Amino acid sequence: MRLNADTSQRAVIHSAELPWLASPLPGVERRMLAREGDEVAVATSLVRYAPGSRFSRHAHELGEEFFVLEGEFCDESGSYGVGTYVRNPPGSSHAPWSVTGCTIFVKLRQMLTHDRQRVVVDTRSAHWQPGLVPGLSVMPLATFETRHTALVRWSPGTHFQTHRHAGGEEILVLAGTFEDEHGCYPQGTWLRNPHLSEHRPFSTQGCTLLVKTGHLAPTEDGRSGAESHLHAARH
């Protein structure tokens, strides 16, 4: 399957408009945002667990990142409530479940093979830092080489200067409405701005974003980020 797989292209997906699709496991459904591959895939998705459902044990050869949007997600390492960010590195494995039911935002097979850092952040209790402009706050979640993941909070009326994204940027709008000269992006919107793209973002009403940057630059062999990770998965 190829869905929004060309990371050199901008993508804007209003996730609430997508259908929930069944996974191979009963009670687990997905809204696919971007995908390269079949069940073994470079994938960005929303995943919903019905109460009492579970997923069979599986390995993350190229890592996994997820953010809990609703309910409580569990695995052998712990329980993760709303607002928890988890980063499971390449080579990790688990057999997750949810007693209450939950919805998570997940990125699969998008880490570098030598990235071995596990991260768990409860963003409900972690600290915000001042951003680069008044009205902007940042909560760093994970950093590896040029790749950064963070929560970014915009107060109403905040404007940022025009800037270019070396290595690209992905955004999930968690609350409020994010804006730039290209459009308005309400809660649940997923955006991908490719390597060296440029925009002038702002938020009239305020918003909170989950942002990942620096991971979409082409590799030395000319492959896009997604193509490079899929090549690694196949070899």
Residue 23 lies in a domain: yes
pLDDT computed for residue 220 by the predictor: 54
pTM of the predicted structure, to 2 decimals? 0.92
Domain containing residue 74:
18-121
Residue 74 lies in a domain: yes
pLDDT computed for residue 20 by the predictor: 97
For the domain that residue 60 is a member of, what is the CATH number?
2.60.120.10
Residue 147 lies in a domain: no
Residue 205 lies in a domain: no
Residue found under tokens 């942002």: 211
Residue 208 lies in a domain: no
Residue 212 lies in a domain: no
State the total domains in the chain. 1
pLDDT computed for residue 205 by the predictor: 97
Residue 73 lies in a domain: yes
Within a 10 A sphere around the Cβ of 101, how many other Cβ atoms?
Answer: 16
Is the CB of residue 49 less than 8 Å from the CB of residue 222? no
3-state secondary structure of 50: coil
Averaged in consecutive runs of 10 residues, what is the pLDDT profile of the chain (235 residues)? 94 97 93 90 95 90 95 95 96 94 96 94 97 97 96 98 96 98 98 97 98 87 47 43
Residue 202 token pair: 């702002």
Residue type at 39 in one-letter notation: E
